Amino acid sequence: MLFYIISIIIIASALLAIFSRSALNAALWLVGCLIVQAVLFATMNAHLVAILQVLIYAGAVMVLMVFVVMMLNLSPEGLKWRAITGGRLIIASGAVYLAAVLGIVAYSMFQCSNVPMFNVSGTVENVGELLITKYAVPFELLGILLLVAVVGAVVMSRRDA
């Protein structure tokens, strides 16, 4: 029963974000949707994912989006509906077709019976143990990749003085 209540709140806040006339209001409704999704993760005992959902998405990414919306100073007059033309209809149908094909491929890939499944709950202890033991090398390579990305961003943002 709790799942259905949380799902209805998520769908309602997502629809309010989509159909909001103000970009800032849409971003705030999206923050609410992401926080309720974190509550859903917490009810499924995925506490690490819930915390990361709030910190990364509802926190950092949404603050960045709100700053961009405020810097662009979007007015409701600038956000008008565009007419649906034949080209847009073809692109939309192609996107739906591509999503269906990717969904079928993903579904068939997960039907393999010889893939070992790990019974890992979303607690910090279990995920940390799995990262340190089984996935230590990819975890370290990801850290190196992020370090290279940060150094590259700093080098690209420097002015040639």
Res 159: pLDDT = 66
Q: Name every residue whose Cβ is closer than 8 Å to that of residue 118 and which is 6 or more positions away in sequence.
A: 130
Statement: residue 8 has pLDDT above 60: yes
Over residues 127-148, the mean pLDDT reads: 84
Statement: residue 12 has pLDDT above 90: yes
Statement: residue 88 has pLDDT above 90: no
- Mean pLDDT of the residues in the chain: 78
pTM: 0.54
Helices assigned H by DSSP within the chain: 2-19, 23-43, 47-52, 62-72, 86-109, 124-133, 136-157
In order of their start, the domains of the chain are 1-77 (1.20.120.1200)
DSSP for 114-137 reads SSPPP---S-HHHHHHHHHHTTHH
What's the pLDDT tens digit per position in 30-54? Answer: 889 999 999 998 888 888 888 888 8
